[in-house]
Structures are given as C-alpha cells and as structure tokens.
Amino acid sequence: MDTLRRWSVPAWAVDLALVVPALADALLNFPPPRDWHFWVSAAAAVVLVVRRRWPRTVLLLTLPGLFAGSALVAPMIAVYTVARSERPAWQKQLALGLVAVGSFLPWPITSLPRETLSDITQHLIYAVMLAAGPVVLGLLVRTREDLSARVAELAELRDVERMLYAKTVVAEERARIAREMHDVVSHQAGLIAVQAGALQVTTKDPQTRETAATLRGLAVATLEELRSMILVLRAAGAGPTELVPQPRLADLPRLVGAAEVAATLRIEGHDPAARPLPEPVERAAYRTVQEALTNVRKHAPDAATEVRVQVEADCLRVSVCNAAPRVGAAAGSLPGGHHGLIGLRERAGLLGGRITAQATTAGGFEVALWLPLPRQADPQAA
C-alpha cells in the first residue's frame, strides 16, 4: 500500500491526460473542413476535467458529440465515472442505455432504414458492448474501493479488539494478584500483628514488650500498605474505591524512628505551607527512604545512617547513606531480590528523575534520588 501511494498520480493530472485521447477521437472523426460536429465533440472532451465533481452533468454534455458525430471516447469515460461514483443503480443503468443508444443510432437518423438486418444486429451488439464495458469496469473499481475500506475498518476493529483483550488480561492479572495478596500476604501479616500483640500483653520483660510493640506496629503498617496496594490493583476493573492517604515527606520522621537502625534525618528547604510539592514527588521520596532503610536493616543493621532531604528551587534531592558495618558484625539474613531498587528506578524515571545506588569509598552504601520540580513562581513578578 505504501508503494502504491508513493507512485500515485494526482487526480487532476489523470483528468487532463484523459482529455488528450478524447480530443484525438474528435480530430480523427472530423477531418477538415470541420463543422459544428467537431466543436461539440471537442467540448465533450474538454469537460472531462470536471468529471469527478459533476459526473452526471459531464455525461449529458458528452452525449451530443456521441449522437451527432460518433465521438465515443469522451462518453465512455463519462459513463465509467458515473458507474464508479456513489449514485443510485437506476442512474447507472440509464447512463448505460443512453450511451448504448447513442452508439447504435447513425447520424443522420434517416440512414438507419437503408441498413440490412445483419448490419443493425452487429451495430446493436457493438453499441451494447461499448456502453457495458465502462460501466462494468466502473462497478468493479467501486466494489474494490468499498472492499478496501471494509478491510481497513476490519483491521482497525481487530486492533481495538486486541487492545481491549490486552486490557482485560491485565485487569484479570491485577485482580488475581490482589486476591493473592489479600488471601496470603495480608493473612500472614495479620497473624504477625496478632501474635506480637499477644506477646506484648503477656510478657513481663520490658524489653520484650517494647520489641513486641515495635513488631506489631510494623505489621499494622504493612497491612495498611497492602490494603492500599490491593485497592490500586482492583481499581482497574471495579468502580470508585475508597481514597487512602499516601505517605508524604511529613511522614519521614515516623518512618526513620521506626526503622530500627541508627538513623538521623535532615530535611532542608521544605516548607509545605509556602511551597507544596507534587504528591508523586513526595511519595517517590518517601518510598526511596523506606526501601533504603530496609536494605540497611538487612545488610548493615549496626551502621550509622544519615537520611538527608534537600528541596531546591528546581529539584528534590534525597540521600540515604550508611557507614561501613562494624568488623565481625552479623549481617541480616532477610531475603532480597533487588526488586525494590528496580521499582524505585522505574518510579523515578516516570517522574523525569534518576536514582543511583552504589558503595561509598568509606565502605558504606548510598542511595541517592534526584527529581525535577516545577519552578516556583516569583510573587513579585507581575
């Protein structure tokens, strides 16, 4: 199809080219000295340039040259145009009949009785074939165009169907994941919360009670996170869901305090009242700190960690840097597949930012996030 479009000729050029054989037909049928028959046939050839816009009018203008002088080319082109156009069937049949009659009747009409029956029969067959040929060709071209349009429509419908099917598959998979999270992960986290609460009530050891309270708090927070994720996963195939507050920078002190690592938090340049940050940016910063502290707790639980958040004029910087773990300290044995950092990179990329995670020269590890911010409007600019 692309090749055909590349080699396609403009319609006006085709119409001008068709005038040439029609004029040649008039010149051959009416040698000098030329009378009004020639000029009628020449006019019929010239009006072919507007055959696409007024096909019926052009056909009527070509008939005088056909009846008076047997100029066949222009009427055949005109009747082909009528047959190809979106006209009622009776108009196409009438056009076929007019061209057939014009081709059959001699000029002057008084010469018809002098012809034999055999000549009349031959002329009639010849006239019908001359008229039917362009009509059949026009109908075939019209049918081909209709079929091409139908095929294109079907291809578009197939694309829409494939897209809807893909969305259905995604929605079903999201619903399945939501069910698994609700039935398995949430259940196990709930059991942890219940067991930790029971231990907190029954134990007499203050340190054990404090540890149980921390475990219960983490389990409850995990349940809230799972609940939010389940609502998001089910939102694709369900109606409106309950809105759940998302973590912001204001929640970082509580997160760092509950991290069970020796972490300090510094937030610089953040004034929510004067300059509220976009919610996706704050949420990405919170998740980055959360994942980084989780990794510290897994791999270097005894290392000093600094969490630093800087809000600048055009960007937000987040850094979570932990020192090298003590020699001989036992690292955590919790499982990890680096999926958290992959998710953080994807989240940062969606916001136009970047994230790095690499070892420091002092033997520690640093996770750094950079996100662009919309520039704050100058209140004095007016």
Length of the chain: 382
- Give the Cα separation of 57 and 169 in Å (integer): 56
CATH fold for the domain made of 249-324+339-372: Heat Shock Protein 90 (3.30.565)
Beta strand pairing call for 305-311 and 263-268? parallel
Low-confidence residues in the chain, pLDDT < 50: 1-6, 239-243, 330-337, 379-382
Beta strand pairing call for 365-372 and 354-359? antiparallel
- Give the Cα separation of 25 and 47 in Å (integer): 15
- Burial call 200-210: b when 16+ CB within 10 Å, e when fewer: beeeeeeeeee
- Give the Cα separation of 312 and 308 in Å (integer): 13
Q: What is the pLDDT of residue 324?
A: 87
- Residue 61: closest CA among 83, 93, 39: 39
Q: What is the pLDDT of residues 32-60, one digit of tens each?
A: 776 666 777 777 777 777 777 888 877 77
Residue ranges matching CATH 3.30.565.10 in the chain: 249-324+339-372
Q: What is the pLDDT of residue 221?
A: 79
Tell me the two tokens of residue 12. Answer: 């006006």
Would the pTM of this model clear 0.85, i.e. be above it? Answer: no
Q: What is the pLDDT of residue 241?
A: 45
Q: What is the pLDDT of residue 118?
A: 67
Q: Are 287 and 347 in contact (CB under 8 A)?
A: yes
Beta strand pairing call for 315-322 and 354-359? unpaired
| DSSP H or E segment with residue 52 | none
